[in-house]
Amino acid sequence: MQIPKDLRNLLALQSLNLSFNNLEGEVPIKEIFGNASAILVNGNDHLCGGLAELQLPTCTNQRSTKWTKSKAFRMVLATIGVVLDSDGFGSVYKGIINQDETIVAVKVLNLQNPKVYKSFMAECKALRNIRHRNLVKILTSCSSLDLKDKDFKALIYELVPNGSLDDWLHLPVDTYNHSRNLSLFQRLNIAIDVAFALNYLHHNCYVSIVHCDLKLSNVLLDSDITAHVNDFGLAKLVLEPDDNLLLEPDDNLSQTQTKYGLGARATIQGDVFSYVILLLEMFTGKRPTDHMFTDDLNLRNFAKEALPVHVMQILDPTLLPKEEESEEIEEYAVNRTEGPSHRTNKLQDCITSIIEIALQCSMESSKDRMNMNGVVMGLHSIRENFS
């Protein structure tokens, strides 16, 4: 924290004791700060400048006084620009750690409400202690002022190199130099990875953490196509309790939940419902905001109505065996004994079982929904049967 500039406007102030307040940055030299005998700044090891009588170190440059530097990390933002377009929590940049030139992801938080960061550093410290193979690792955090004297707060993450699940499922293949199609087995593994991460946050962390914003763009893939959930815990950092980033509109599963549940209180059950939407989107290839979903039709009902005989018709076409990419799908769905291979039969059984888990996780009453531990066990069983 820097010395508040407003103190210089208190012209009647005769003495000022700022000792041992963990202050940083440049000490002014005007108004009361122009009288060395009227101020005390002992015990603030990161202050610089000011009158010579204060015997503080010289400020090296303006930028260094406005950034909090972790002892372990000195972070430089790269000039390549934003990695992802901004979301509700902020913007992501690619950055470099000076010591070993490790590339990192820097989440610069969008701070609209000036009252929300009282416990920022304490909360960040707690988040940095969270460790799970399917969560993006938080390396450190920054809290200071930018060059325009506006609040600057950022989280520095380990960079996950292979983009988001949203990129893999929805961006055109020719956007990249290689095919980004995910096989059914890869998608099943990713679904299990995300379920593992949520189960850890909900039930095995030091305190239950509600993600509040689970969606495809917050699932990142590494070089082995292992999934890592990002942005967990951010709602607690940037929102006050009465700001209401909400996850469950009510128990009637209304259409507003197709937008990942914005509009009710944040709960573990709300996270589970968001996982349902993610799961169905992964295997149908349909976004929950697709133009086909109007009135009472949403992604969940779309999948439910396909059970049991029309499942192959709602499957993401990229997952269909070549011999099934035709009008034969409908005929096969009606009379399964005529035609397709044993592998296609197994595919239908697999997709049917996945949809059934999604439905169990999204029962009308949130109290009746399967938790993430049940999801993990169910998907493991499906994977074993399919493989």
Catalytic residue positions, numbered:
213
Answer whether 144's CB lies under 8 Å from 78's CB.
no
100 vs 78, 80, 284, CA distance in Å? 15, 19, 42
Q: Are 117 and 143 in contact (CB under 8 A)?
A: yes
| DSSP symbols for 215-243 | SGGGEEE-TT--EEE--TTHHHHH--GGG
What backbone torsions phi and psi does residue 135 show, to the nearest 5 degrees? Answer: -115, 140
For residue 31, CA distances in Å to 7, 9, 11, 104 come to 9, 8, 7, 42
Looking at the chain, the number of H-run helices and the number of E-run strands are 11, 11
CA 291 to the chain's CA centroid: 25
Single-letter amino acid code for the residue at 361:
C
* Rounded-to-integer distance, Cα 210 and Cα 232, Å: 7
Is-contact 311 349, C-beta < 8 A?
A: no
Residue with tokens 């815990």: 233
Instruction: Give the whole-angstrom CA distance, residue 259 versus residue 280.
Output: 14
What does the DSSP assignment read for 132-183? Answer: -TTBPPEEEEEEEE-TTS-EEEEEEEE--TT-BHHHHHHS-GGGSSS-----
Query: Is the bond into 308 cis (omega within 30 degrees of 0)?
Result: yes
Chain centre distance of CA 374: 23
CA-closest candidate to residue 337, choices 345, 328, 329, 325: 345
Q: Which of 210, 225, 185 is nearest to 260 (CA)?
A: 210
- DSSP 3-state assignment of 367? helix
